């Protein structure tokens, strides 16, 4: 890999050499600190225990993104856990961004997961509050919310910088993670939002990813205040973008997905288009082109839910990478053999305990 | 025998996803399940946050001067009656949840424990465009209210910027008034006898 300095020459899945001024040994932080326009994408988590599904879904982004977000039951819908996805991705050398939501785990579980994930090579963590359980497929679940995103940031920062748990108990080897948070400039109270970012930075956020941006003037206003406060120098800001599949999807999203703001003009533009899907992609590219020019924006976060295959095209056409080629996984000679064998193993029937016990009951 | 229900459940599984059309849902039980309230008094408190800040400053001063009394009675023994009063007064004014570590003066007199996510550091990203809660669409977001409430307050806008520590669940259902007073008295004591 001559074109990418962000690879460990001995083993692509191993951590990188620590650099001065860097807290993590990951690729994303290096890209951002070099001042390059970063691109991250969101992996649609499988409802399955098959590792190959995760690999396939990550391979779509190969060579187009600097980091892959592993969502933590986003929208309160149950999927493969972010820790699990991250563990798989680090094996392959990808740079996952592990999302941690406060909705499902208390402080004991979260701190344990942070250590576990860091040990597996996760270099980026994104601290979130999480959507309410009412938004998901299991509204009867108990909402935990033991920490909030702010105290979570502070907790992980303390673990990393002061080498101790929230309780004060020492950690022998701290988790070297690049800490992220989420922002939503598109929800009230609007004039509190920049201050909230300041608070998140004070709590430990080093990069932030925003909610879907479909209202660029609103983002501009927010970013103006952020730049006035000097926050863009203390934190890398990645703006969330994504293609809308149709006007219908857009309407559904704005009334059902918490915190998504889609102006009427966007919906009108989609409705007026002959091919709505293509127009949605076009719109996403247009927004990316506008966003990359805004002062203080360090990158984009592409959330192409169920349209992951378009990420490469969108990133390419928007030209945000300026010809740069992010790290991509070199296939190894034994990859095909391993994949084939894995498929065989996964396809084989395993015993079902209920069936065994049924036999016993019959024989009685 | 124990296997039977398991086997039964396995065969019944494909149907489990579908709810019978006539499933009975009792009133008030839903993912957004809190008894509907008018939130009138809570909102009044936010509107009068400056006044309440003033009242609380006087009140906490008075409570601190009563420190010898609390000491004589014993903070342990004072806990029950004080909590009784505190719970009702704050319950009426703020819909207090007795977290035991009151931060109303940092949140514009809008109790953050009323947030379904119990956020103590600001609004989540799910606030609706009309300023209402994501989880409970009928409730005005406590943090939108908090931001309003802090505006007229003397220390409000400074305090709201502080990063709050996670809630200590072991302090639930205890008196915040007595704890603040005891800590303040201890601080005073320490200032008087720095040698100790």
Using one digit for the tens of pLDDT, what is the confidence trace for B10-21? 444 444 455 566
Tell me: pLDDT of B27 over 60. yes
3-state helix, strand, coil in chain B (%, to 5): 55, 0, 45
- Asked if A147's CB is within 8 angstroms of B166's CB, the reply is yes
- Asked if B147's CB is within 8 angstroms of A150's CB, the reply is no
CA B158, CA A32: separation in Å to the nearest integer? 32
**φ, ψ for residue A108, nearest 5 deg:** -70, -50
Residue A273 is encoded by which pair of tokens?
Answer: 């288009």
Q: How far is CA A251 from the centre of its chain?
A: 24
Residue B111 is encoded by which pair of tokens?
Answer: 């109790």
Contact A26, A178 (CB under 8 A): yes
Q: Does B195 touch chain A (CB under 8 A)?
A: no
- Asked if A259's CB is within 8 angstroms of B134's CB, the reply is yes
ipTM rounded to 2 decimals: 0.89
Q: What is the pLDDT of residues B89-147, one digit of tens each?
A: 999 999 999 999 999 999 999 999 999 999 999 999 999 999 999 988 889 999 999 99
Between A51-55, B5-9, B34-38, B128-132, the lowest mean confidence (pLDDT) is in B5-9
pLDDT of residue B29: 64
* pLDDT per residue of chain A (364 residues) written in tens, 0 to 9: 444 678 888 887 788 888 999 999 999 999 999 999 999 999 999 999 999 999 999 999 999 999 999 999 999 999 999 999 999 999 999 999 999 999 999 999 999 999 999 999 999 999 999 999 988 999 889 999 999 999 999 999 999 999 999 999 999 999 999 999 999 999 999 999 999 999 999 999 999 999 999 999 999 999 999 999 999 999 999 999 999 999 999 999 999 888 999 999 999 999 999 999 999 999 999 999 999 999 999 999 999 999 999 999 999 999 999 999 999 888 888 888 888 888 888 888 888 887 777 777 666 5
With CA atoms as reference, the chain A residue closest to B122 would be A196
pLDDT of residue B75: 93
- B175: closest CA of chain A, how far (Å): 21
Tell me: pLDDT of B37 over 80. no
- B116: closest CA of chain A, how far (Å): 8
Tell me: pLDDT of B4 over 90. no
Q: What is the pLDDT of residues A206-233, one digit of tens each?
A: 999 999 999 999 999 999 999 999 999 9
- Asked if A151's CB is within 8 angstroms of B165's CB, the reply is yes
Contacts with B135 from chain A: Cβ below 8 Å: 132, 134
Interface test with B, best of A105, A129, A146, A155 (most B CBs within 10 A): A129
**φ, ψ for residue A124, nearest 5 deg:** -130, 135
- Asked if A357's CB is within 8 angstroms of B129's CB, the reply is no
pLDDT of residue A351: 80
Q: Collapsing DSSP states into helix, strand and coil, what is residue B33?
A: coil
Alpha helices in chain A, H assignment, sequence order: 27-33, 51-59, 82-91, 107-119, 149-161, 193-203, 216-228, 247-256, 264-272, 276-291, 311-318, 335-347, 353-363
The ranges assigned to domains in chain B are 36-192
- Measured at the alpha carbon of residue A159, what is the angle toward residues A166 and A237, in degrees to the nearest 5? 115
**φ, ψ for residue A47, nearest 5 deg:** -100, 65
């Amino acid at each position: 890999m001559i074109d990418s300095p962000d690879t460990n020459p001995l083993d692509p899945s191993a951590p990188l050499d620590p650099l001065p001024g860097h807290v993590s040994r990951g690729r994303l932080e290096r890209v951002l600190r070099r001042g390059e326009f970063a691109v991250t994408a969101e992996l649609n988590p499988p409802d399955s225990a098959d590792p190959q599904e995760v690999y396939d879904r990550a391979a779509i982004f190969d060579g187009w993104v600097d980091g892959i977000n592993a969502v933590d039951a986003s929208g309160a819908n149950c999927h493969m856990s972010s820790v699990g996805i991250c563990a798989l991705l680090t094996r392959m050398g990808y740079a996952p961004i592990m999302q941690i939501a406060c909705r499902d785990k208390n402080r004991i579980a979260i701190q344990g997961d942070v250590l576990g994930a860091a040990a597996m090579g996760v270099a980026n963590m994104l601290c979130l509050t999480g959507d309410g359980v009412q938004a998901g497929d299991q509204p009867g679940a108990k909402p935990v919310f033991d920490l909030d995103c702010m105290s979570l940031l502070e907790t992980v920062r303390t673990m990393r910088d002061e080498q101790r748990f929230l309780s004060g108990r020492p950690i022998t080897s701290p988790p070297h993670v690049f800490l992220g948070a989420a922002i939503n400039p598109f929800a009230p109270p609007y004039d509190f939002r920049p201050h909230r970012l300041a608070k998140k930075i004070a709590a430990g956020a080093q990069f932030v990813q925003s909610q879907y941006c479909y209202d660029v003037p609103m983002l501009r206003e927010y970013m103006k205040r952020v730049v006035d406060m000097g926050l863009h120098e203390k934190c890398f800001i990645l703006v969330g973008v994504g293609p809308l599949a149709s006007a219908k999807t857009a309407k559904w999203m704005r009334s059902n997905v918490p915190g998504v703001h889609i102006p009427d003009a966007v919906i009108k533009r989609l409705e007026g288009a002959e091919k709505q899907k293509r127009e949605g992609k076009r719109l996403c590219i247009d927004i990316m082109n506008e966003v990359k020019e805004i002062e203080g924006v360090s990158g984009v976060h592409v959330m192409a839910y169920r349209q992951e295959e378009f990420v490469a095209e969108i990133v390419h056409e928007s030209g945000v990478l300026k010809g740069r080629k992010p790290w991509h996984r070199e296939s190894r000679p034994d990859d095909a053999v391993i994949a084939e064998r894995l498929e065989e193993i996964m396809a084989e029937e395993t015993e079902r305990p209920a069936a065994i016990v049924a036999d016993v009951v019959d024989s009685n | 025998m124990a296997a039977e229900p398991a086997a039964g459940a396995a065969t019944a599984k494909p149907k489990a996803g579908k709810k019978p059309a006539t499933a009975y849902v009792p009133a008030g039980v839903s993912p957004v399940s809190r008894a509907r309230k008018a939130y009138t008094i809570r909102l009044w408190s936010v509107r009068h946050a400056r006044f309440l800040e003033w009242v609380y400053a006087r009140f906490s001063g008075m409570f601190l001067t009563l420190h010898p009394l609390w000491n004589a009675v014993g903070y342990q023994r004072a806990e029950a009656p004080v909590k009784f009063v505190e719970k009702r007064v704050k319950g009426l004014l703020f819909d207090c949840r007795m977290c035991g570590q009151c931060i109303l003066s940092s949140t514009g007199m809008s109790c953050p424990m009323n947030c379904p996510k119990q956020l103590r550091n600001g609004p989540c990203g799910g606030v609706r465009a009309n300023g209402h809660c994501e989880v409970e669409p009928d409730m005005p977001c406590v943090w939108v209210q908090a931001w309003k409430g802090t505006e007229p307050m003397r220390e409000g806008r400074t305090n709201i910027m502080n990063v709050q520590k996670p809630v200590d669940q072991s302090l639930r259902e205890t008196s915040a008034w007595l704890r603040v007073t005891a800590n303040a008295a201890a601080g005073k004591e320490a200032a008087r006898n720095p040698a100790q």
